[in-house]
A and B are shown apart, each in its own frame.
Chain A
Amino acid sequence: MAHVGGRAADADMSGRATDPTRALGNTVTYREAVAEGLARELRRDPAVVCLGEDIGAAGGVFKTTQGLFEEFGPGRIWDTPISEQAILGLAMGAAMTGMRPVAEIMFSDFFAVCWDYLANEMPKMRYMTGGQVTVPLVVRTANGGGLGFGAQHSQATENWTLTIPGLKIAAPSNPADVVGLMASAIRSEDPVVFFEHKGLFASKGPAAPDGYVVPLGQAAIARSGSDITIVGLAATVPMALAAADRLAGEGVSAEVLDLRCLVPLDMATVLASVDRTSRLLIVEENPYQGGWGGTVASIVADEGFELLDAPVRRVAAACVPLPFADALEQRVIPTVDSVSAAIRALLAY
């Protein structure tokens, strides 16, 4: 049952009316925001220290730590060997003894070679010692596909970390949120995995104002609308916004939520939005099988069943390894086309 007519006025209400960065213009890249977010915390707190492969003099393979070595020196910015277990293990040992380390794992695919620290050590230490130990650290990583890096450098692995009780998970979609969520992640007393999306590094947005802090676990309404709620994370947020803009021309008023974090998961904002729109589409880059959208969908089915006028739909990556060629990769991960098609199908239900 389609009901897409007469919503153009709603579509005009889209945008970031409550976003303090709105007036600042698209002045910085997502990649610059990573370095800026780190620099602000390094200046603020002498306990913050960074370690990772090529993050120092080289400025990071994605140039996300550019300028930090020059400003803060080798005592704060540490180049490591290719030793992912040592990187996360050292970060954890330092976090347990008074420091606030920020460790970089160059590609999130490499979590698999240091998974013990993410799955068994960082998230469990506080619990299994009866609260004796805290682990205030951040694990930054470049996540996701779309750049033709092939099967071992392109995965969206945020769902891996979602399976581990004891990890907080942030995944910003725009430069200001990179800075604001970085501040919260570094100041958190708990371990935070911070996913920086490779496909967004070159994207631009407003710079974060001074002192900008985005609390962990607060979703943002990236675009207001009344016909359908689209929930995205990191790169699927601009994708959903593009699809929403495209469908605005067809009279569709889509609301786009940026989850920002998977843990804490802001289901209150999702359920409130579904209460307004009655339709829910979840767009995630990790595979459908075991993807985070399954958790969102199950909570909505459980707690928001009566709010729905249509099934909950998920657009996620196909359950195959990431292929190399663009034509193949675009077939596997969500695209503006596949999201637009899903919106149309859901509104036609």
Chain B
Amino acid sequence: MTTPTTAQDAIGASELLALYEQMAVIRRTEKAAHDLFLAGLVKGTTHLAAGHEAIAVGASAGLRPDDYVFATYRGHHHAIARGATPEECLAELMSKATGLCKAKGGSMHLTKASAGMLGSYAIVGAHLPLAAGAAWSAKLRGSGQVAVAFFGDGATNIGAFHEALNIAAVWSLPVLFICENNLYMEYTPIGSVTAVPNPAADRAPAYAIPAEIIDGNDVVIVADAVARAAERARSGAGPTLLEARTYRHFGHSRTDPATYRPPEEVQEWLQRDPLDIARARLAALGVPVEDAVAADDRANRLVEAAIAAARAAPPPDPSGALTDVWADGGSQWRT
């Protein structure tokens, strides 16, 4: 991949349309997850990423297929952006044998290792050192791969964030730290619990890591920033931190109606929907509106078929509960 000089140079009309369609697939999958939960078909909880689509899809566009990504419990969008199908994601959420993780992980642990999507982690910040470790491994093996940790604004106040940034900088690791700053750590405004205005970017200088604040709702801007940071990492120049501003369309988790957010703020951000921004960019590139509508239709059909297939899939065999602890497939701990 050549280094793009501007975002517009990097992504042409046909690629942007493909990215738009991916975002549409994620949006509809998240809507399906929401509806299936309300229908009692999804257990536990979900943390929906509707509103965050441009970060996952843009980042994926800026990376190599063999790069590694590590996501949080709000990670459906990253699994799909890296190649997991809506069907295997929804089947996992619906506790089906055909789920991405054989129904052992659930919504918070979607993983597609074969596509370099090395997990969704539900302990805040825990995966930042893991991404640094994957980057260390790439450096040791000389593979030219980079690793990416996606995390929320809330993770910037936990110790693992700071330990990971420091060692990644000191060891000059090919890792990207991408903060999805949606302004709220769970139910609390991030600004009320953080002494600096930009919770991730303002910490980076303390670790001598270059940081950039970007519009996380513009898939082209995200793709451009990630491609530049990845190129820098591959060149041996070390980690980059990106703070991508975005907004949740739903609450923190299933039980949260997000009433703590001012209505005018919600309205302002809904006006900045990442799908709308991508559609406007498509129009500016001369792509007929029918093409975007056709992409929406394909996304709808894909997710509808995924819902039907996931609903029809069998539940896991209970014997599976006692497998996969050890690499030999079993769970034996004594003789």
- Asked if residues A93 and B335 are in contact (CB atoms below 8 Å), the reply is no
- Asked if residues A85 and B327 are in contact (CB atoms below 8 Å), the reply is no
Q: How long is the Cα–Cα vector from A182 to B176 in the complex, in angstroms?
A: 34
Interface residues of A in 161-211 (CB under 8 A from B): 165-166, 188-190
Q: Which residues of B contact A330 (CB under 8 A)?
A: none
Interface residues of A in 126-160 (CB under 8 A from B): 126-134, 136
Q: Which residues of B contact A220 (CB under 8 A)?
A: none
Are A127 and B335 CB-contacts (below 8 A) given A93-B130, A132-B111, A133-B113? no
- Asked if residues A92 and B160 are in contact (CB atoms below 8 Å), the reply is no
Least CB distance, A48 to chain B, in whole angstroms: 11
Are A120 and B334 CB-contacts (below 8 A) given A99-B140, A126-B327? no
- Asked if B104 is at the interface (CB within 8 A of a chain A CB), the reply is yes
Are A127 and B118 CB-contacts (below 8 A) given A83-B163, A93-B137? no
- Asked if residues B105 and A121 are in contact (CB atoms below 8 Å), the reply is no
- Asked if residues A93 and B132 are in contact (CB atoms below 8 Å), the reply is yes
Q: How long is the Cα–Cα vector from A81 to B70 in the complex, in angstroms?
A: 23
Chain B residue nearest to A95 (CB atoms) is: B133
- Asked if B159 is at the interface (CB within 8 A of a chain A CB), the reply is yes
- Asked if B189 is at the interface (CB within 8 A of a chain A CB), the reply is no
Q: How long is the Cα–Cα vector from A185 to B234 in the complex, in angstroms?
A: 33
- Chain B interface helix/strand/loop/mixed: mixed
- Asked if residues A98 and B147 are in contact (CB atoms below 8 Å), the reply is no
Are A267 and B334 CB-contacts (below 8 A) given A97-B134, A120-B126? yes
Q: Which residues of B contact A91 (CB under 8 A)?
A: 133
Are A96 and B134 CB-contacts (below 8 A) given A88-B129, A127-B104, A133-B111? yes
Interface residues of A in 82-112 (CB under 8 A from B): 83, 85-86, 88-99, 101
Assign chain A's interface to a size class.
Answer: 35 or more
- Asked if residues A127 and B164 are in contact (CB atoms below 8 Å), the reply is no
Assign chain B's interface to a size class.
Answer: 35 or more
Chain B residue nearest to A219 (CB atoms) is: B335
- Asked if B170 is at the interface (CB within 8 A of a chain A CB), the reply is yes
Contacting B334 at CB < 8 Å: which of A95, A101, A299?
A: A299
Q: How long is the Cα–Cα vector from A101 to B134 in the complex, in angstroms?
A: 11
Q: 12 more A-B contacts (CB under 8 A) besides A90-B129, A116-B123?
A: A86-B163, A93-B136, A97-B137, A121-B121, A128-B106, A130-B101, A130-B102, A132-B113, A189-B328, A217-B335, A269-B335, A299-B334
Q: Which chain A residues have a beta carbon within 8 Å of chain B's beta carbons? A: 49, 75, 78, 80-81, 83, 85-86, 88-99, 101, 116-117, 120-121, 123, 125-134, 136, 165-166, 188-190, 217, 263-269, 299
Offer 23 A-B interface pairs, CB within 8 angstroms, sorted by A.
Answer: A75-B140, A83-B167, A89-B127, A89-B132, A92-B133, A93-B132, A93-B135, A94-B133, A94-B136, A96-B133, A97-B118, A121-B121, A126-B325, A126-B327, A128-B101, A129-B101, A129-B119, A133-B119, A166-B325, A188-B327, A217-B335, A263-B334, A264-B333
